[in-house]
Amino acid sequence: MSVLALKADKRRPHGPSRVQQFLPLFPPSLILLLFFAIPMGMMVGLSFQQSDASGLTLASYERFFSDQFTLMGMARTVVMSGLVAICVTIMAYPVAYFLARSKSRWRALVFALAIAPELAGVVLRTYGWLIILENQGFINNALIWLGVIAEPLPLAKNMFGVVVGLTHVILPFGILSLLTSLQGVDPNLEKSAQILGASRASVIRHIVVPLTVPGIVSSMLLAFTMSASAYATPAILGGAGFKVLATMIYEQVLFYIDWSFAAVMANVLLVMMLIVALIGTRLEARLHQKLHT
Amino acid sequence: MKPIYIAASLLASAAFASPTMARDLIVNSYGGPYEQIIRDAIITPFEQEYGVRVIYDAVGSSSQDYAKIKATNGRPGFDVVVMTASQSLQGCEDGLLERFSPDTVPNLAHLNPEISAVAGPCGAVHELQYLSLLYRTDMVSESPQSWLDLFEDDLTGRVILPSFGNVMAAYLTQLMSVIHGGDLDSDIDPGFEAMTRLAAQSVGFEQASAILESYIVDGRVWAMPFWDGRAQLLVDSGAPVDYVLPEEGSVPLIATLNVPIGAQNKELALAFVDFFLEKTSQERWVEGYKVGSARADIEVSDQAQDRKITSQADLDALYLPDLLSLASNLSAWGERWEREVVPAAR
Amino acid sequence: MNQVVSALFWVSLVLVLTFITLPLVVVMAASLSPTAVVTLRPWEWTVQWYGDLWTARWLDPFMLSAQLALIVSIASGVLGLLAAYVVAYEKCPGHAAIMSFLLSPLAVPQIVKGVAIVLFLSSAGLYNWLGTPGLIAAHIILTLPFAVRMIATAMFNFDKNLDRAGQSLGASKMDRIRYLLLPIIKPGVFSGMTFAFIISFNNIPLSVFLVRPGETTLPITVINYIEYSLDPVLAAVNVASLLFVLGVIFIFEKIGGFSAQIHGGSK
């Protein structure tokens, strides 16, 4: 009920106006419609068009799905994003746990560090990793100097480098999702379990982790989506042979200027993300059920 | 509530204020070292002569600029853009670029007709470069004379190549094709075969010229293909490198000035194009950016004459590709490059 | 056993924090190195590159980026507040569906959103929008979902009993919104706005299509510069803008006091 609805009540006692209730929604929806929904509709339409043919055609989709190279790119996107989702969640967990439970004065510093990667531009952060990981980078130089290895390890210009770079970029988001979830778990639950004689390990395994399953799932989903659409990191740290959907979309848009094909890849990426989101929600519901029955 | 008012007025000014004065000319070109050279050699003299202000826009490579022109249907926001002959032809075909005529750009008449023809009616050729062989003088015992020297054993693991997103890759493939018995367009197989072999001996691929040149400057590689203009800038910077035009010849990079069809300041844009093609402007540009010119009547230093494309004889040493067929082949060649050449590098 | 688990926890925490800090340290060392070769020897370091930042080449894009991010964060805050009010406070019919509509831009890669917006604007003949107005609109689309989500969370946590108490004391709806709801959800609104500011300030993929000549954002200026030369001034730009963003967070925190929410206030 809004102010106006209250006033109207005095005159007309039955039913506040539904339209007025939705009124504040108008400006944000209009912006979303104009600058997101309609343009995206055009983009989907474009994927069924070809420059040299009139009418709708599935030719660009056929080209995508009949080509081993683009399919490889799609598979690489899934593997890369999956690895990043796992790495981000595992690495974010201890940090989020510390932030949720600790009362130490280092907490503010850890929090600042945890979100720091997000504050720096992605391109230079990625160059930072390149300097660390490349063949004559800090790690390889140090290991060779120490005599641990004779030949540089292939740390950059491959899947490993990309996963490292993306994990770093996305870690703050994982930490924040897990933090929200961990703050929802009553610390007294852990204390009482320990008083009752449960070991630290079993408290974590049987109480903390199960109760934060929604946070784990949402962290993995967020990390997956963000890595699947990331461009700069795979382009810089992956090298020439490392093509994922996002980098192929950029090439089609900016180099080959074939937007219908770019739209096809974008739609494939979108559908892929929706499927992953669906699997994630299902998984979460399943685990939820398992824990509560 | 004061911040709200400030924000509201900011919002209003950003949304409604027109960004530039009517007389300003917006020129889109490249950034980095290029920007200072073009300012000194061309833009500042132009501003003085015409009493106007030029806004310099360094956003985007030439293919990105073309993508922007296409997305905006010929109204990208800039009045003059530096691209290459390939985009000039494509843009002309798509009706996105202004056609030049001797009336609007009188200096076009002074350009080499053969080169002008390659760029089509929408491109004004303001600069020529050739693909040179850049090498480390302190690492390579005798200076290479042939493109085939890149394949020599002592350069194994000491060559870097452009990735296909850099148009140099396509040109290099064409050149290799000619050298190995194929041709520039239809019989390209020998080119890909040679590039695959070369890739196997290389350290890999990079796209941006700045990164490519960092490899040879810090000594990670000893030789690479590079456009002669930037190669000369590297030599001048004091790096222990030099470059040659190999005996088999080379291919040109034909850079053009273009005016988008929807340019807001078209008259001044055409004046700028003509100004860039003036004899004196071309001389300053050849000396400043260390490139060649399509004007045969320019008078430049011996060094420039020696190493840059400044005469008909220089031009005869180059293979002129059919850029329209290159454009139509680009996508297929790109796929082939990713399948055959890139995997060979590892 | 417990000691082992606890030691493992601390070791992993330290390792993760090192992992986070490492590239940032490298970028900082790069910004202080005399040449493009990064040196870790502090006695060779120089601040000369920071001096180069005080030129129009970097200051103009910085000003544009800062203004843009401010406008975008305020617009996302206001629009997000309106949307969250209907969805999370009024709980209008179909609020779950409306919420997923509001969050849907998150699922689309940025480059696709960028091309789609440019195509739409030019095919609708809105050429004047290509440039800063389009940039503002595109950044709002990008940041609005974050703002809506954070403000809605704050609204969900708002205790409706307070509202009822106010109502029984005769406060009008407007008064209750102004004196009860808004002050309580303020931290949520400001954390949403801070996120919007950071995302807009660092954005590349959407901006690349929409920057207008002569009006380029800072990240776009940086990537254009990389195409042609790699010198430490780029790292200096990055460190300086990191410090700027930290300053902005500090100011927003002073106004909005959202760290209480992040530090354990929210559930």
Q: Give the residue-averaged pLDDT of A16-37.
A: 86
> Could you report the per-residue pLDDT of C27-79, keeping only the tens digit for each?
888 889 888 778 878 888 888 889 888 888 889 999 999 999 999 999 999 99
User: How close are the terminal C-alpha atoms of chain B, in Å?
Assistant: 61
Q: Do A123 and C86 lie within an 8 Å CB cutoff?
A: no
Encoded tokens for B319: 């293979």
Assigned CATH class of B2-128+253-310: alpha beta
Residue, of B149 and A17, whose pLDDT is higher = B149
pLDDT at res. A143: 92
Encoded tokens for C144: 């609005």
Lowest mean pLDDT among A5-19, B94-108, B324-338, C97-111: A5-19
Q: Give the residue-averaged pLDDT of C95-104.
A: 83
Dihedral, CA atoms, C129, C130, C136, C137, nearest 10 degrees? 70
CB atoms within 10 A of CB B219: 14
Contact C210, C118 (CB under 8 A): yes
Query: Burial of A107 by CB count in 10 Å (0-12 exposed, 13-18 middle, 19+ buried)?
Result: middle
pLDDT at res. A52: 63
Phi first, then psi: give them for residue C7, nearest 5 degrees: -65, -40
Residues A194 and A272 in one domain: yes
Which residue from C179, C150, C96, C162 is spatially nearest to C266, judged by alpha carbons?
A: C150
Distance CA A43, CA A27 (A): 23
Residue, of B42 and A99, whose pLDDT is higher = B42
Distance CA A82, CA A227 (A): 9
Q: Give the residue-averaged pLDDT of A143-164.
A: 91
Lowest mean pLDDT among A3-12, A227-236, C247-256: A3-12
Q: Give the residue-averaged pLDDT of B95-106.
A: 94
Phi first, then psi: give them for residue B241, nearest 5 degrees: -135, 160
Residues A24 and A75 in one domain: no
Residue, of B67 and B168, whose pLDDT is higher = B168
Q: How confident is the model at residue A197 (pLDDT cuts 50, 70, 90)?
A: confident
pLDDT at res. B111: 93
Distance CA C228, CA C238 (A): 17
pLDDT at res. C12: 93
Q: What is the 3-state secondary structure (H, E, C) of B268-294?
A: HHHHHHHHHHCHHHHHHHHHHHCCECC
H helices then E strands: how many in chain A? 17, 0
CA distances from residue C144 to A62, B300, C141, C153, C239 in whole angstroms, order as listed: 35, 58, 6, 14, 27
pLDDT at res. A102: 83
Q: Give the residue-averaged pLDDT of B211-216.
A: 91
Q: Do C71 and B218 lie within an 8 Å CB cutoff?
A: no
Cα angle value C205/C210/C215 (rounded, 5°): 110
* Architecture, CATH, for domain C56-265: Orthogonal Bundle (1.10)
Contact B291, B123 (CB under 8 A): no
Distance CA C214, CA C107 (A): 32
Q: How confident is the model at residue B250 (pLDDT cuts 50, 70, 90)?
A: very high
Q: Do A25 and C92 lie within an 8 Å CB cutoff?
A: yes
Q: How confident is the model at residue B170 (pLDDT cuts 50, 70, 90)?
A: very high
Say which residue the tokens 């539904």 belong to: A18
Does residue A163 fall inside a structural domain? yes
CB atoms within 10 A of CB B43: 22
Distance CA A137, CA B266 (A): 50
Encoded tokens for A58: 């599935």
Instruction: Give, for C95, the enclosing helix (H) or strand (E).
Output: helix C95-103
Encoded tokens for C165: 């108490």
Query: CB within 8 A of B117, min separation 6: which ones?
Result: none
Of the candidates A107, A122, A184, the beta carbon closest to that of C267 is on A184
CB atoms within 10 A of CB A179: 25
B223 has pLDDT over 90: yes
Does residue A90 fall inside a structural domain? yes
C216 has pLDDT over 90: no
Q: Do B63 and A253 lie within an 8 Å CB cutoff?
A: no
DSSP 8-state symbol, B126 = E
Distance CA B332, CA B85 (A): 20
Does residue A53 fall inside a structural domain? no
Touching partners of A (3+ C-beta pairs < 8 Å): B, C
Contact list, C208 vs chain B (CB under 8 Å): 59-60, 64
Cα angle value A158/A161/A166 (rounded, 5°): 125
Q: Residues 57..116 of A with a Cβ closer than 8 Å to C: which? A: 91-92, 94-95, 97-98, 100, 107, 110-111, 113-114, 116
C97 has pLDDT over 90: no
Cα C135 to the chain's mean position, in Å?
Answer: 15
Contact list, B20 vs chain C (CB under 8 Å): 214
Half-sphere exposure (CA, 13 Å, Cβ side) for A135?
Answer: 13
A49 has pLDDT over 70: yes
pLDDT at res. A33: 93
Distance CA A144, CA A123 (A): 28
Please check whether residue B163 touches A, CB under 8 A: yes
C267 has pLDDT over 50: no
Does residue A58 fall inside a structural domain? no
Q: Give the residue-averaged pLDDT of C7-20.
A: 92
Residues A26 and A79 in one domain: no
The residue ranges of every structural domain in chain B are: 2-128+253-310, 129-251+322-344
C6 has pLDDT over 60: yes
Contact list, C101 vs chain A (CB under 8 Å): 29, 32
Q: How many domains is chain A built from?
A: 2
CATH number, domain at A97?
Answer: 1.10.3720.10
Encoded tokens for A186: 């009553």
Alpha helices by DSSP H, listed for B79-121, are 85-93, 113-119
pLDDT at res. B88: 93
Does residue A266 fall inside a structural domain? yes
Of the candidates A42, A92, A119, the beta carbon closest to that of C242 is on A119
CA closest to B3 among chain C residues = C74
Does residue A81 fall inside a structural domain? yes
Q: How confident is the model at residue A17 (pLDDT cuts 50, 70, 90)?
A: low
pLDDT at res. B105: 95
Please check whether residue A39 touches C, CB under 8 A: yes
Distance CA C230, CA C241 (A): 18
Residue, of B252 and B3, whose pLDDT is higher = B252
CA distances from residue A237 to A88, A156, C19 in whole angstroms, order as listed: 18, 6, 16
Query: What would you measure as the largest C-alpha separation in chain A, in angstroms?
Result: 89
pLDDT at res. B4: 47
Encoded tokens for B210: 């700045």
Query: Highest mean pLDDT range out of A179-193, A250-264, B117-131?
Result: B117-131
Does residue A60 fall inside a structural domain? no
Phi first, then psi: give them for residue B184, nearest 5 degrees: -75, -25
Of the candidates A67, A241, A255, the beta carbon closest to that of B165 is on A255
For the whole model, what pTM was predicted? 0.84
Distance CA A77, CA A234 (A): 10
Please check whether residue B12 touches C, CB under 8 A: no
Residues A202 and A247 in one domain: yes
Please check whether residue B94 touches A, CB under 8 A: no
Kindly state the percentage of chain B with pLDDT values over 70: 93
Mean pLDDT (chain B, rounded):
89
Encoded tokens for B230: 């930037």
Dihedral, CA atoms, B243, C230, C18, C251, nearest 10 degrees? 180
Distance CA A256, CA B15 (A): 33
Domain assignment of residue A21, given as a range: 1-46
Distance CA C93, CA B337 (A): 55
Q: Give the residue-averaged pLDDT of A38-54.
A: 82
A156 has pLDDT over 80: yes
CA–CA min distance B68, chain A (Å): 9
Length of chain A: 293
Q: How confident is the model at residue A293 (pLDDT cuts 50, 70, 90)?
A: low
Distance CA B191, CA A286 (A): 56
Using left for φ > 0, alpha for ψ between -120 and 50, and beta otherwise, residue C133 falls in alpha
Please check whether residue A152 touches B, CB under 8 A: no
Domain B129-251+322-344 matching CATH 3.40.190.10: the answer reads yes
Residue, of C77 and C264, whose pLDDT is higher = C77
pLDDT at res. A134: 85
The residue ranges of every structural domain in chain C are: 1-46, 56-265
Distance CA A140, CA A135 (A): 6
Q: Give the residue-averaged pLDDT of B69-92.
A: 90
Which residue from C267, C247, C249 is spatially nearest to C259, judged by alpha carbons?
A: C249
Distance CA B18, CA B21 (A): 8
Say which residue the tokens 């019919």 belong to: C93
Half-sphere exposure (CA, 13 Å, Cβ side) for C149?
Answer: 15
Distance CA B282, CA B124 (A): 12
Q: How confident is the model at residue C174 (pLDDT cuts 50, 70, 90)?
A: confident
Does residue A61 fall inside a structural domain? no
Residues A172 and A216 in one domain: yes
Residue, of C191 and B155, whose pLDDT is higher = B155
